[in-house]
């Protein structure tokens, strides 16, 4: 059995410029969701805000949750400006 060796090592693939840019963009797009869902709720609870109001603040993450619905529409049509 002849197994082919990959041309580059795993580490060199991870440190490739395209991968690092993609990773940075993924972190930048996911970080606001993490902050709005977890940290702000914890801070609000510590500040004494009622659970009802904290639940209403959780609606901020709804557009991120439904992105798979509205993203194709924005990809299909161009904006007028």
Per-residue pLDDT of the chain (81 residues; tens, 9 = 90+): 555 555 567 777 777 788 888 888 877 877 776 776 778 788 888 999 999 988 887 787 788 788 889 888 888 888 777
Residues 6+ apart with CB under 8 A from 58: 36, 37, 41
Q: What whole-number distance in Å separates Cα of residue 33 and Cα of residue 60?
A: 9
Within the chain, residue ranges assigned H as helices are 10-14, 17-34, 40-46, 51-57, 62-65, 67-76
């Amino acid at each position: 059995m002849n197994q082919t060796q990959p041309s580059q090592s795993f580490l060199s693939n991870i440190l490739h410029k395209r991968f690092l840019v993609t990773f940075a963009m993924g972190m930048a797009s996911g970080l606001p969701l993490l902050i709005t869902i977890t940290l702000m709720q914890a801070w609000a609870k510590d500040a004494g805000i009622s659970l009802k109001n904290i639940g209403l603040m959780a609606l901020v993450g709804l557009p991120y949750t439904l992105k798979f619905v509205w993203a194709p529409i924005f990809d299909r049509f161009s904006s007028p400006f």
